Structure 1
Amino acid sequence: MATLTALMLATPLFGLTLQVDASLFEGPAVAVDRGAQLSVQGVAELEATKPPTTADLVRKRNKIKKIHTGFGLATWSLMTLSVVSGFIQFHNQYGWWQSQATNPCVQGNAIFSQKACSRAPVGHVTLIAATSAAYFTTFGLSYAMPDPLKVSEGDSPFARRLRAHKALRWVTFAGMLAQIGLGIASANAEWFGLDRANDYNALRGLATAHLAVSLMTYGALTGAGVIMLF
């Protein structure tokens, strides 16, 4: 190698050129077994398509469960505020089943502001929208949780509590749909040809049904949460 280097440095001095075969600097070719390469790829593909193990599903369930619980608590908090705002709205417009001439809106005694008597209850509607978004997310997460160990089956105390929780889930779901429908009807009575001047009793009945369903839904949601948290 030293001789080759000396020749490369000396030849330009004498007007000569030295052609060096590049192959001298190349290492020996390494043969790759195509069959072995395909075998490795096959193993990788098999690993990628292999169904999750029970341990994988349990880890997934526990991860989703934490998110589900967080959204459940958020739903309960928002629904609490929605129920309170609903009571205020009902009180302002109808009192506690007072007549058309004596309710707080007519008497000028509406809670917070008289504006709630003549326009859409923006605050209440906003709370209902937020509650609905949180609730239906919680509902969807309950179905995303795998149950490889069948924890809801059997006669253990936890299994019985979980079955009750699932039953109350459907009560809450039905209540959410019903109260949303009743709320839309109450807030848009003119769609059905109703107005406060001529159909006060009918509108009060509709609002009462909306409030009653809301309380039932709130109770079912509270019960479902208490069963699992305590």
Structure 2
Amino acid sequence: TSVLEAPSAALEPAVVLAVQISTDLEEPNEPTTADLVRRRNKIKKIHKWFGITTWALTTLTVASGFVQYYNQYGWYQSQSTNPCVTGNAWPTQNQCSGTPTGHLTLSVLAGAAFFTTFGLSFAMPDPLGVSEGDSKFAKRLRAHKALRWVTFAGFIAQIALGLVTANSEWFGLDRANNYKTLRAIATAHLTVGFVTWGSLTAQGALMVF
């Protein structure tokens, strides 16, 4: 060896390990297409069952809301002729006063299930672009995605209208003096409920048929 050559530096194993760890931290491995497809399939299964649960709970919520509406307002009847006043509330007169606990519980559960389903739809990666193109499935999936915004808006509106309907006194409204106003709000609440249920049903049908 020439005396002019610098001796080669011997690196300690700990130094080599530290450099390797630093490199790994600086350059994380990107998930492969296969990884993303596996992730999508896992989330899709959860999304599907949350969607079915949301539909079932929403159906029960709308049904219980319809009963509540009928008891308090009949077929858009007057203050003196609705079932609660005439003693014909179904299934009992207990539906005419107090907090509608059953309907409230169902609405909270339906909302929780929907917003979870909604969030999962954004968590699913689409590395293969299955929602793109002109295939029948791609078109159905795009329609499914578009309808989720209709359903989302419906749930938000339902929460707002339900809050006013169930707590009218907070807003200075009562059945004795503001019957027609409350009836109009309740009618809007029920109508939005049916529209939301219809949108949700269409979303499910697009993925089933």
- TM-score for both structures, normalised by structure 1: 0.81
Q: 2: CA distance between counterparts of 1:228 and 1:42?
A: 45
**Cα distance, 1:124 vs structure 2:** 0.2
Counterpart for residue 146 of structure 1: 125
Q: Deviations over 1:54-75 (max 9, x none)?
A: 0000000000000000000000
Whose relative contact order is higher, 1 or 2, with alpha carbons under 8 Å and at least 6 apart?
A: 2
Task: Confirm whether residue 75 of structure 1 aligns to residue 54 of structure 2.
Answer: yes
Q: In the alignment, does 2:163 pair up with 1:178? A: no
- Structure with higher Rg: it is 1
- Return the alpha-carbon distance in structure 1 between the equivalents of residues 21 and 83 of structure 2: 76
| Equivalent position of 2:5 in the other structure | none
1:228 to partner: Cα distance: 0.8
Among 190, 195, 199, which residue is 1:211 paired with? 190
What residue number does 2:111 align with?
A: 132
Alignment correspondent of 1:14: none
SS in 1 for 2:106: helix
Q: CA RMSD in A?
A: 2.1
- Amino acid aligned to 2:37: V
Q: Per-residue deviation at 1:153?
A: 1.0
Amino acid at match of 2:36: L
Partner of 2:7: none
Shift of residue 45 of structure 1? 3.5
What residue in structure 2 maps to residue 52 of structure 1? 31
Consecutive unaligned residues of structure 1, counting only runs of 5 or more, are 1-32
The residue correspondences of 1:66-145 to structure 2 (distance < 5 A) are 66-145=45-124
Which residue identity is paired with 1:203?
A: L
1:189 aligns with 2:189: no
SS in 1 for 2:131: coil
Residue-by-residue CA offset, 1:72-107 (whole Å, 9 max, x unaligned) = 000000000001000000010001111111111011
Aligned partners of 1:176, 1:206: CA distance in 2, in Å? 15
Aligned counterpart, 1:38:
17
The answer to whether 1:227 aligns with 2:206 is yes
- The within-5 A match list for 1:20-35 is 34=13
Name the counterpart of 1:20: none
Counterpart residue type for residue 120 of structure 1? T
Q: What SS is found at the alignment partner of 1:71?
A: helix
Q: Helix, strand or coil: the match of 1:82?
A: helix
Structure 2: tracts of 5 or more residues without a match: 1-11
SS at match of 1:97: coil
Distance 2:150 2:189 in 1: 15
Task: State the secondary structure of the residue aligned to 1:102.
Answer: coil
Instruction: Find the residue that maps to 1:49 and give its secondary structure.
Output: coil
CA distance in 1, matches of 2:17, 2:100: 66
Deviation (angstroms), 1:229: 1.4
One-letter amino acid of the counterpart of residue 178, structure 2: D
Count of paired positions? 199
Query: 1:163 and 1:194 mapped to 2: Cα distance?
Result: 42
CA 1:35–1:126 in structure 2 vs 1: closer, same or farther (change >3 Å)? closer
